[in-house]
Amino acid sequence: MASKALDGMVEEALKAFLAWKGASRLARRRLLQAWLEQVGLVKEDLARLLTEETGKPITLAKGEIARGESTLLVTVEALGAFGEEAVPYDLMAGAEGCRAVLRRFPLGPVLAITPFNFPVNLALHKLGPALGAGCSVLWKPCPQAPRTSRLLWESFEAARIQEQAPLRLLQLAPADPAEAQLLAQDPRIAAVSFTGSERVGHHLERLLAGKRVLLELGGNAAVVVDEGVDAGTVARALAPAAVAGAGQSCSKAQRFYIHRGLWEAFVPAFVAAVKALPVGDPMDPATVVGPLIDEATAVRVDEGLDRAVAAGATVLLRGRRQGALLPPAILTDVPEEDPFVCEEAFSPISVLTPVDSFGEGLDRAAATRFGLRASAYSRDLGNLRLAEQRLRAGGVLLNLPPTFRLDAAPFGGVAASGNGFEGPRWALEAFTEGRLIVEGPAL
Extended beta strands in 107-211, E state? 110-113, 137-140, 170-172, 191-195
Residue of 216, 227, 344, 422 with catalytic role: 216
Answer yes or no: are the C-beta atoms of 17 and 135 closer than 8 Å.
yes
* Whole-angstrom distance, CA of residue 142 vs CA of residue 195: 10
β-strands 329-332, 314-317 pairing = antiparallel
Say which DSSP state 157 is in. Answer: H
First to last CA, the chain: 57
* Active-site residue, 216 included: yes
* Whole-angstrom distance, CA of residue 228 vs CA of residue 160: 55
Say which DSSP state 325 is in. Answer: B
For residue 197, what are the contacts with CB-CB under 8 A and spacing of at least 6? 217, 218
Q: Compute CA distances 368 → 79, 336, 362, 372, 393, whole Å.
A: 37, 11, 11, 11, 10
* Whole-angstrom distance, CA of residue 130 vs CA of residue 110: 7
* Whole-angstrom distance, CA of residue 249 vs CA of residue 190: 28
Q: If you compute the radius of gyration of the chain from its CA atoms, what whole number of angstroms results? A: 23
- SS3 category, 112: strand
> Which residue numbers are catalytic?
216
